[in-house]
Structure 1
Amino acid sequence: MSFSKTTQIILSLIGALAVLVGGLLTWAYQYRDDAFQYILKEANQNINGRLTARDFGFTPFANGIGFSFSLFDVHLQDTAYTSHRTELLFIQQFTIQVDMKSLFKKEFQIKSVCLKEGKINILVDKEGYSNLSVFRPRDSLSVAKKTDPASLNKVIGNLKDVCFKNVLFSLENIRKDQHIALKAEDLTNYVNRRDTLWELELKGKVYFDEMAFNKKRGAFLSHKPTELDMNMTFSSQTSFLRIFPSKVKVYDDTFELKGSFDFAPQGHAHLEIKTDTIHATRALAIIPKRLADTISRFNILPVVTATVRLDAPLFQRENPMVSIDFQTKTFNYESPMGAILNVVATAHFTNQANPALPASDQNSRLIAKHVTGQLYGNIPLNTFFTVTDFETPFLSMEGNFKADLPQLNSLFDETYFRLNSGKALISYCYTGKMNPIFNEKTNELNGKLDGNAKLENAAFTYFPQRMNFTRMYSSIRFNEKMVDLSYLHFNHRRNKIRISGKVTGLLPYAFNSSDKVNGYIALFTPDLGLDWIRDYNKTISRKNNKLFTKLIAKIASQLELKAVVMAKKVHYRKFEATNVKGHIYFSEKSVKCENVKMHAFGGDFQVTGGIEDFDRPVHRLYARGNVNHADVQKVFYAFENFGQTTISDRNLSGKISTDFTYSSQLTTSFKFVPASMKGRLSFELSNGELNHFEPIQRIQRIFFRKRDFENVRFENIKNQFILQGQELNMEQMKVESSVLTFFVGGTYSFRDKTDLLVQVPLSNLKRSNDDTIMHNLNGNNLVIRALDEKGEIKLKYQLDWRKKLRRADRPESSPFN
């Protein structure tokens, strides 16, 4: 065939087609108005309402072989529109595409429907009336005029798609307090019919304003742009819509969706939504705001993998049932006790914990089956908890901490503490309010706490005092008010300490409390060495920023500890005592003891006293007590001769009983401030001996050369001493010894002011074994004055006759003036 013939045939076909189209267009426009009025008339005869349109359009061969009919400014109103004023439908352009082949068979089959720019508003009022009644046939219609399902199937049986362009849809069920509102921005529903089952593929963009199945409980998908890619089936017989696994994209998060809608009068919507790695904040935005706000109050908002199951009644005034299973990714949580890092949790939430009760906040429950993390980033944490009643959340929690102590050194200042070894195990159970757990006004937990703690072979060093604690074991129980020390055993140097007791006010410090901490303990040790006290240094600096160092310093500043001390043996430098019992009180600023009794110096020793003002540059020491039947040599030895060298434990023996009071200032290194010393001592010395005492031996060389002053034995001696600064003033006392009787009084000084007056009755010159001889100062006396001259005691002697002695009573006539 030649090129010219081919061209001629093509041109002929185009011409014929043009004539056909032209003819059709001519026919369409010729009968346009008649068709428009026919369509409106037929539609209005088959509805229980009123359908109107402003204009009618016709387009042949639209989207293939077929015709498109368009109605413009379409309004659909039910018969009660004048009362409720809610149009069921307003569409600016309603387009129907009709299959051309069906027209040649004198049939009307719709291939597609498209709605552009408009609103669809479904209303159900308080009485249950719905504007969907517009689709109910009129009672006045004859049977012949009523809609024939078979005829309807012929019309829409080959429908392929329905599209929506910027169409608002709303369902307002006033009777059930429900509201669903969305905008189909560009949405197409691809349709395939199999008998009574419609296969649907819904794709496009939808903006959800809200889905409120109960407006009082809040709405799902509030103000959320979404993209839909959904596969569904709809049964026209059962009014049941099934959603097969589909995808819904909300913002940047993609959800897998499946479920069903049962449009029967008692029907429900069942949805299952899954998501991978969505941030909890965005996930909560999908569920009702009130429920989301309740969950948000817990401040646990990690990235999660979640499955949400929803059971929502479509036409009943009930709350939807929500069930959520989720697994978190690693996140950090700021708990009331401090930061918990690297948290991972598996949990389940439902708002219908009791199936016999309706879904509600009060019937909600969150179960965290397994939660792990590191408290403060160092202490391994395992816990299980349940939260119920989201109206006023109630928490039940169990958990434990387990840690190798050296791993916690980063929480301490290395210049103060070092954990050397050991393990710590803490288990606990809490039931009570969740928000808040701790009441700052009452300084108490808002619930019940029970737990136990153990230390196993712990050891640590406290550097400021050069103290090492080793072999530390403990069994501790605690509740919201008290810590009960079943036992706390540890070694400090050679001391083996055993402690039991109770501490109150300690646990609130985990929640940043600053109130008093009170301890009541019993301390036992077989052998307590106190030499470490000399290494005492200043307490922890408040400027330290390490967590536990600050916490210990804070607790120490508020700690008041009362202890019953029992020790088989106590020793400090040269001091030793046995069977020590008494009460001791510790605080940051003071140490006090009360009625501490012991066996010491070969006798019984009881003392009450303490050291105060640790927070000041100068401390205060005070004491009162008594010693009964003690070995005076041991007393002087234990107290290192009271800091003087004139008379020492090598010179004395005998039994001494005393009552004393004493006070003094101390330096920060616990040295006495001599000028501040004050005291009063009443003593009785029996069976005493003074051996190798140089001042007495000097008297022997001059006056009593034939007597043995190397070993001088005394009868009972009683006197009272008053300490003022560095001077010890004593009243004149009579001393009856194995070598002579003398009277002594005056001032003994710990510096250079010693001034003692010794008077020896000359009746001593006659040696007699007659105990009936009474020596006194009424006769002639040898007067010896002991004066401190340049740090050395000098003796001055003078005979004193009675007459002179009487004049000596006057200061101006003293023989030493």
Structure 2
Amino acid sequence: MPKWTSLTLKLIAGLVALVLIVFIALAGYISYNKKEVLALVTASLNKSLNGTLTVGNMDPTLLAGFPDLSLSLKNVTLKDNKWAAHRHTLLQAQDVGVTVNALGLIKGKAVINKVVINNAAVYLYTDSLGYSNTSVFKKSKPQPGAPEADQSGLATVKRINLNKVSFTMDNIRAGKKFQFEVNKLNGALDYDGDNWDGRFDLDTRVNSMAFNTQRGSFLQGKRVAGPFDVRYDAANGVINVKPNNLKIGSDDFIIGATFNTGKEPVAFAINIKADELLWKNASALLAPNITEKLNMFNLQKPLKVQAVIAGDFGSGGDPKIDVSCQVRDNVLTSPGGQVDSCYFDGVFTNNFDKGKANGDENSAIKLFKLKGSYQQMPFTADTTMIINLIKPVAVGTFKSSFPVVSLNNSLGGDPLKFGKGAAKLNLRYNADVVDYQIHKPVLTGTIQVSGADVTYVPRNLKFTNTSFSLYFGKDNLLLRNIQLMSGRSIVRMDGRVDNFLNLYYNSPEKINLIWNIYSPEVRLGEFLGLLNARAGKRYAPRRSSKINYAAQLQEAFTKGAAEIHLKADKIYYRKFLATSGIANLYLRDNSVIIKNINLRHAGGGIKLNGKLVQNGSYNTFALNSTVSNVNISQFFYSFSNFGLESLTSKNLRGNLSSTARVTGRISNTGDLVARSVNGVVSFNIAKGALLNFEPIKKVGKFVFPLRNLDNIAFYNLGGTFDMRGNLVTIRPMQISSSVLNMDVSGVYSLTKGTNIALAVPLRNPKDDYKITDIEERKKKRMRGIVVHLRAVDDEDGGIKIKLGRDKKKDDEKGQDKEKS
């Protein structure tokens, strides 16, 4: 080995040996002068404190911080001057390792390069008056003339390690509480004058992060782990935590923050980002008052989230919370149903109105560019908001275009079932949110349906090629351009409902729909379903938190009323044809009130008023009718001879005028129920004739075998019938014709019980029309021999003619005369 190399190695070895000797000497000095050194360290630290730092014991650890001197402090406590009043110890540690600059100790000054705290508890406490035990670090102003050494600041700490440390910040005045169980915190600090930079590695469990203790804790029970960089700017007192990757639970976040210690109280802003975060995981990080609401919803796939929490540690109330998220091609589930292919940009804030305090009452959820598919109905909503989470109100605009058959998914095919066709919606709504459901929305906008096939299930009414437009104003519903087709019937309608939405939700029985209906051609047989009593599903009362749209719609249909004003060019019903029809109908519950129906039929007119009541398998009616100058043959033909078998349209000729007040029943198939009619019918037939009327021809066989009774003409015939089920009572009636005269009275039965009295003079009245004196004509019509006959039932169900009076009726007349 060269001599210079050997000399160098010896020199280095000598220096190391010297350092070791000095280091061991210092350790020995400290051990020998333990009390004096401990007093020096604590005195140095206590100079910067408004309180007391005590250390139970101190031992040097020779090699732990070489070449600095490491000290192990046992049972360290730090208390402020008012500890006796509040009893909250700022620091209590079983073991604190302090690495001290050895040269500084020799010079009588503690320079602390590293602090390691193990098994400790840190408790920062602020009472209801605003006093904090952290005032222990706030040195009072030095007295004038005090020695410079007494004005020294807190000792510089370059490295800090925490292990198994409980950290609590309890602010009674502000209602805030933070509590962390720090498993590990390793940090290194670099100083630039009064500024410093730090790099920390954290592993902690959050027991409480309550910005408002009444609302509960954020991140409760979550593990937070990862590195973060910190910068302190002494000029403005701002601590800046640079954004870095941290794990909260099993999710990755980028978290940054600022803390402004230059303000009183200390202000903070925490920024949180996550590129992929499940909804349930995000909800679990928030305070219970928010989590409870968010858990009513879920998104199947992760979403992108960014949040800012800002406030201060001194004032009460909630911090300002702003959250934004991006949802792309996701599946949203909620109490109202599931939305597929869901897209939106979302924002949450608890400071919607900048002039009000942060909190649930001032919170808002905003959804921008929302689109998705609800029960196969695609929709868009430019902006949707839910304002005030205590009494939520939802506002927004809803747009959608879809095949109407998709409505069957939400309505269940009852009361309306849709086939082909298209729907288009453009609605703005304002609604309360009750149990996380849109409740009683106030709507403005339009609903348009075109080319649809619709079945009204409770009445089994089917319509094709249906089109309509609904216009929602603030209070009213307008129905425009409605066209329905059922078979060969075409119906065009317009309508309105005043105060619609209020009544729909609160008093459906008060809904009154005003319809104006026009039809160029309507066939009533295609609407016989209106005669059926409502049939359909029965729904439970609306007590569930989930809205049953079908039940609401069914209830409105069932309880609501309609006022119908109808015009029709042609009206068909079986054999019946009318023109220029005008009608006013009022529908309520299971009844139809008929007012002022006017029709042109068989060359004359018909007017009707009355009521139809639906009752199970049949319908009862009460009608007042006026028939003016109609062709009697066509009239009887149109109404299937009114159930009469012996007198038909083929037996009649002339013009009929009639009034009737009748009640009866009609089946759900539109047929008159046999023997159900009761009432009074009065009629007059002008320029009439009986053609081949078998009962008269039977009379002729007895009385006028040589006269032609196939065509009996009469100029004016009137009478009144009392109808009671199967019995028709003919009030005394005079028939004057070209062939014979006849007085008729009695009972005609549709089954058994016919007993009609006929008084027939034998003289031939064919020339009576030549007598111009009406009174003379009346006297002459019954002159001469009068034959009395009776029409009664025969054995075959027909009618037979017998000679003689009805003895029972004659006796009754005789008794009446005696009494008089």
State TM-score, norm by structure 1.
0.84
1:163, CA displacement in angstroms?
A: 0.9
- 1:718-771 deviations in whole A, cap 9, x for unaligned? 211111222212022211111221212222222344333322113338966652
Structure 2: distance between partners of 1:46 and 1:766? 144
Question: Hey, what does 1:674 align to over in structure 2?
Answer: 674
Tell me whether 52-61 or 72-81 shows the greater mean CA deviation.
72-81
Of 489, 492, 499, 2:486 maps to 492
For structure 1, the 5+ residue unaligned runs are: 2-8
Q: Distance in 2 between matches of 1:549 and 1:239?
A: 63
Q: Which residue of 2 aligns with 1:541?
A: 536
* Corresponding residue of 2:787: 782
The answer for the alignment partner of 1:631 in structure 2 is 631
Letter in 1 for 2:732: Q
1:573 aligned residue: 574
Mapping 1:304-703, distance limit 5 Å: 304-315=303-314, 320-328=319-327, 330-334=330-334, 340-341=339-340, 343-355=342-354, 359-378=358-377, 380-382=379-381, 384-410=383-409, 419-435=418-434, 445=440, 448-461=442-455, 467-479=461-473, 482-503=476-497, 517-533=511-527, 539-542=534-537, 553-587=554-588, 589-614=590-615, 616-700=616-700, 703=703
CA displacement, residues 408-460 of structure 1 (integer Å, 9 cap, x when unaligned): 44556679975332211222222354447999xxxx93x74322211122223
Structure-2 change in CA distance of 1:362 and 1:653 (3 Å): same
Alignment-mate amino acid for residue 396 of structure 1 = V
Deviations 1:363-397 (A, max 9, x none): 44332112223334545353522233445444322
1:95 to 81, 94, 97: 97
Matching residue of 2:135: 132
Paired residues of 2:643 and 2:674 also in contact (CA < 8 A): no
1:59 maps to what in 2?
61
Alpha-carbon distance in 1 for matches of 2:354, 2:66:
56
Equivalent position amino acid for 1:74 in 2: V
Counterpart Cα distance in 1 of 2:123 and 2:413? 72
- With over 3 angstroms needed to count, the CA separation of the structure-2 counterparts of 1:33 and 1:636, relative to structure 1, is same
What pairs with 1:248-267 in structure 2 (closer than 5 Å)? 248-266=246-264
Indicate the larger mover: 729-738 or 665-674: 665-674
Task: Give the match's secondary structure for 1:715.
Answer: strand
Distance 2:527 2:473 in 1: 34
Instruction: Rate the CA distance shift 1:515–1:764 in 2: closer, same or farther, 3 A.
Output: closer
On the 8 A contact 2:738/2:765 being kept in 1, the answer is no
Q: 1:607 corresponds to which letter in structure 2?
A: L
Secondary structure of the residue aligned to 1:527 is strand
Output the CA distance in 1 between the equivalents of 2:459 and 2:381: 36
String of CA shifts for 1:656-711, please: whole Å, max 9, x gaps: 22111222234444444324332211112222112233443455556445544332
SS at match of 1:526: strand
Q: Deviations over 1:603-638 (max 9, x none)?
A: 221112343233x24432332212122222222111
- Checking the alignment, whether the CA contact within 8 Å between 2:394 and 2:432 is kept in structure 1 is yes
Between stretches 164-173 and 701-710, larger displacement belongs to 701-710
Report SS of the residue matched to 2:715: coil
Report the residue type matching 1:663 in the other structure: T
Which residue, 207, 232, 235 being the options, matches 1:234?
Answer: 232
SS at 2:421 equivalent:
strand
Residue 6 of structure 2 corresponds to none
Q: Which residue identity does 2:228 align to in structure 1? A: M
Say if 1:784 and 1:795, in contact at 8 Å, map to a contact too. no
C-alpha separation in 2, matches of 1:265 and 1:413: 62
Alignment of 1:692-771 (within 5 A): 692-700=692-700, 703-704=703-704, 707-764=707-764, 770-771=770-771
C-alpha distance in 1 between matches for 2:274 and 2:588:
57
Distance 2:66 2:271 in 1: 39
Give the deviation of 1:230 after TM superposition: 1.2
Distance (Å, rounded) in 2 between the aligned partners of 1:218 and 1:308: 18
Structure 2 gap ranges (5+): 2-9, 541-546, 815-820
**Aligned equivalent of 1:78, options 77, 80, 85:** 80
Indicate how the Cα distance of structure 1 residues 408 and 387 shifts in structure 2: closer, same or farther if over 3 A, else same: closer
In the alignment, the residues of structure 1 paired with residue 701 and residue 252 of structure 2 have an alpha-carbon distance, to the nearest angstrom, of: 115
User: RMSD between aligned alpha carbons?
Assistant: 4.2
Change (3 A) 1:567 1:41: closer
Q: Aligned AA for 2:135?
A: L
SS at match of 1:645: coil
Amino acid across the alignment from 2:563: K
Distance 1:411 1:308, change over 3 A: closer
Alignment check: 8 A CA contact 1:404 1:421 kept:
yes
The verdict on how the C-alpha distance between 1:201 and 1:131 changes in structure 2, with shifts beyond 3 A counting, is closer
Distance 1:335 1:509 in 2: 25
Is the 1:597–1:607 contact (alpha carbons within 8 Å) kept by the matching residues of 2?
yes
C-alpha contact (below 8 Å) 1:323/1:351 kept by paired residues: yes
Tell me the secondary structure at the aligned position of residue 148 of structure 2: helix
1:88 alignment partner AA: L
Shift of 1:171: 3.8
Deviation at 1:714, TM superposition (A): 1.0
CA contact (8 A) 1:122 1:132 kept: no
Tell me the equivalent position of 2:116.
114
CA distance in 2, matches of 1:39, 1:277: 50
Please tell me the residue identity of whatever aligns with 1:365: A
- Tell me the distance in 1 between the aligned counterparts of 2:191 and 2:66: 20
CA 1:513/1:767 → structure 2, altered by over 3 Å: closer, same or farther? Answer: closer
State the alpha-carbon separation in 1 of the partners of residues 461 and 445 from structure 2: 30
Looking at structure 1, the residues matched to 409 and 46 of structure 2 have their Cα atoms a distance apart, in angstroms, of 83
Cα gap change, 1:707 to 1:69, in 2 (>3 Å) = same
Q: 1:305 to 1:655 in 2, by over 3 A?
A: same
Task: Summarize the Cα distance change of 1:493–1:177 in structure 2 as closer, same or farther, 3 Å threshold.
Answer: closer
1:144 aligns with 2:144: no
Aligned partners of 1:127 and 1:702: how far apart in 2? 126
SS in 1 for 2:649: coil
Identical columns (%):
20
Q: By how many angstroms is 1:29 displaced? A: 3.5
Task: Call closer, same or farther: CA 1:753–1:198 in 2, change over 3 Å.
Answer: same
Opposite residue 196 of structure 2, the aligned amino acid is: W
Code of the residue aligned with 2:146 in structure 1: it is S
- 1:656 maps to a residue whose letter is L
SS at match of 1:35: helix
Q: CA deviation at 1:520?
A: 2.2
Which letter does structure 2 place at the counterpart of 1:716? Answer: N
Match of 1:6 in 2: none
How far, CA to CA, are the matches of 1:420 and 1:178 in structure 2? 60
Q: Alignment length, in residue pairs?
A: 785
Task: Assess, with a 3 A threshold, how the Cα gap between structure 1 residues 436 and 417 changes in structure 2: closer, same or farther.
Answer: closer
